[in-house]
Amino acid sequence: MPNYIRLKAFGMLAEKIGTDSLEIENPGSSEALRRLLLEQFPALQSLTFRMAVDRKLLQAETDISAGQEIALLPPFSGG
């Protein structure tokens, strides 16, 4: 099985990344993924966001396995 993961970006993050859904090679951990994202999409550097792996919000850094879905979640304030 190829070592890919699926990213789902929400809100302003999807705008900055240019798409709300993206398949990338698995960097192996949430820390490595964050580094990779900030490097590939420098516009994310100034944004607050949390990650969820397979629909669970991360409490701490974690390993990521092939095929997992990572949600990138910014806070919304509108009402």
Partner 1 sequence: MIVNRFERQVILPGFGQEGQAKLKQASVLVIGAGGLGCPVLLYLAAAGVGRIAVVDGDVISQSNLNRQVLYGEKDLGKNKADTAVRYFQEKYSDIQWTAIPEFITVDNAQAHIFHYDLVIDGSDNFPTRYLVNDASVLLKKPLVYGSIYQHEGQVSVFNVGSHPCNYRDVFPNPPAPQEIPNCAETGVLGVLPGIIGNLMALEAIKVLAGLGKPLSNKLLLFNSLDTQFQELEIQPNPANQSALPASWNEFHQRDYTSAFEGIQQLTWNEAMKLMGQEVAFVDVREPGEEPPLECTGLVKVPFSTLPNELDRFEEAEEILCFCQSGIRSKKAAQLLQQTYPDKKIFSIRGGINALKS
Chain residues that interact with partner 1, rule: CB under 8 A: 8, 10-12, 20, 46-48, 50, 52, 55-57, 59, 71, 73-79
- Rounded to the nearest whole angstrom, what is the least distance from the CB of residue 79 to partner 1 in the complex? 4
CB of 3 to partner 1, least distance (A): 24
Closer to partner 1 by Cβ: residue 3 or 45: 45
Question: Whole-angstrom Cα distance, residue 43 to residue 15?
Answer: 10
Please identify, using beta-carbon distances, which residue of 3 and 48 lies nearer to partner 1.
Answer: 48
DSSP tag of 4: E
Residue 25 or 35 with smaller CB distance to partner 1: 35
Exposure string (b/e) for 21-45, b if CB count within 10 Å is 16 or more? ebeeebbeebeebbeebeeeeeebe
Distance CA 47, CA 65 (A): 25
